[in-house]
Amino acid sequence: MENLRLIVGLGNPGAKYARTRHNVGFQLVERLAEQWRAAWAVEKKFQSAMARLERSGSVILLCRPQTFMNASGEAVSAVAGFYRVPAGRMLVAVDDADLPLGEIRLRERGSSGGHHGLDSIEQHLGTRDFARLRIGIGRTADGRREITDYVLTPFSAAETPLVDRVLGRAAAQIECWLEAGIGKAMSQFNGVVKDSA
Name the residues annotated as catalytic: 22
Outline where the chain has alpha helix (H): 24-35, 72-83, 116-125, 148-151, 160-180, 182-189
Question: CA 14 to CA 108: how far, in whole Å?
Answer: 30
Distances (CA, A) of 130 to 5, 38, 185: 11, 24, 15
Q: 165: Cβ–Cβ under 8 A, 6 or more apart, which residues?
A: 193, 194, 195, 196
Question: CA 45 to CA 23: how far, in whole Å?
Answer: 22
Burial class (CB in 10 A: 0-12, 13-18, 19+), 54: exposed
Answer yes or no: are the C-beta atoms of 132 and 94 closer than 8 Å.
yes
With CA atoms as reference, report the closest residue to 13 among 66, 79, 51, 73: 66
Answer yes or no: are the C-beta atoms of 10 and 117 closer than 8 Å.
yes
